[in-house]
Amino acid sequence: MPVLPPIERILFLDIETAPLYRELEKVPEPLRTYWLDRYNSRRKSSDDRDDETFFIEESGIHALYSRVVCIGLGFFSREGADWRWRNIILKDLHEEKLLQAFVEKWNKSAHCFGKKSLSSPPQEPVWAVCGHNIRNFDLPFLGRRLVLNKLPLPPFWRAAQDSQPWQLKDPAVIDTMLLWSFTSWESGRYIPLEMLAYAVGIPFQKSLTHTDIREAFYRWKEDGDESVFAPVVQYCLQDVRITAEIFVRLQMPPAEQESLLQALHKPSHPAP
């Protein structure tokens, strides 16, 4: 892995998604046929779900058939000799507005974190974004949904369209799942966040399922009661914090870990 910027220049990120369509029959053509040909027809023989159930349970990870419902962001900052953990959640029933708010925060991160000291070596990235399975899911999904919402792509996503992952810089991309893989291409590198947390000694259990997230979002959208979405907000922020804790345990020198971990377990400070 290339040299990374200081931890205060790392933005930790997690997204939650939900299907755009409540029923398979409501998916417009040619998307419906493509789903049936590309995904539905390649199911394992042991999968006995009907087509409708399979669609509603599996489409949430595909950018053509689902949308972003919330985005969690977090970062460390110094206040004197102490570390502080700051986070923010972005949510909106209108995905375009949600993504616009995200791009504003992303660009602000580029400005705030992009303060390279004069002593920094020229090959060091200015800042980085970190998440779990972020290379395969969060970042590509965000880029695709930005395009599908007809929003301008920030420079990072424009560069990602024709670059290899290791060529991306400012921000550099840190994937905690790949940190665990140690360059392995075996299937064992695909470890869930919950299992990796357990492996490195972090007590953590997922509190929601994809079904819970989907139904909470639909209830908010259909009934107008935003409070039903509150568990999803806490779930997303928890994933951001756990990702940051895993990063600290995997990457930071032992002598520096304790103060950072203490910051993570104190009440978080909302980001400006």
Give residue 118's pLDDT. 47
In tens, the pLDDT along 12-46 reads: 999 999 999 999 999 999 999 999 999 988 888 89
C-alpha 17/C-alpha 91 separation (Å) is 11
- Per-residue pLDDT of 138-148, as tens digits, reads 999 999 999 99
> Mean of the per-residue pLDDT values for the chain?
90
Q: What does the pLDDT look like over 58-95, one tens digit per residue? A: 999 999 999 999 999 999 998 888 999 999 999 999 99
pLDDT of residue 234: 96
Distance between CA atoms of residues 126 and 5, nearest Å: 6
Tens-place pLDDT, residues 198-232: 999 998 888 899 999 999 999 999 999 999 999 99
Average pLDDT over residues 94-111: 94
Q: Which of 96, 118, 66, 90 is nearest to 11 (CA)?
A: 90
Quote the percentage of the chain above a pLDDT of 70. Answer: 91
Residues of the chain by 3-state class (helix, strand, coil), percent to 5: 50, 15, 35
Specify the pLDDT at position 117: 52
* Alpha carbon distances (Å) from 176 to 192, 194, 196, 240, 248: 10, 12, 9, 11, 10
Q: What are 141-171's pLDDT values in tens digits? A: 999 999 999 999 998 998 888 876 657 777 8
Mean pLDDT of 238-247: 97
pLDDT band at 120 (very low <50, low <70, confident <90, very high): low
Ordered domains of the chain (ranges, CATH)? 7-20+65-270 (3.30.420.10)
Which pTM was predicted?
0.92
Q: In which residue are the tokens 């935003």 written? A: 226
Could you give the CA distance from residue 34 to residue 40 in angstroms, rounded to a whole number?
9
pLDDT at 2: 57
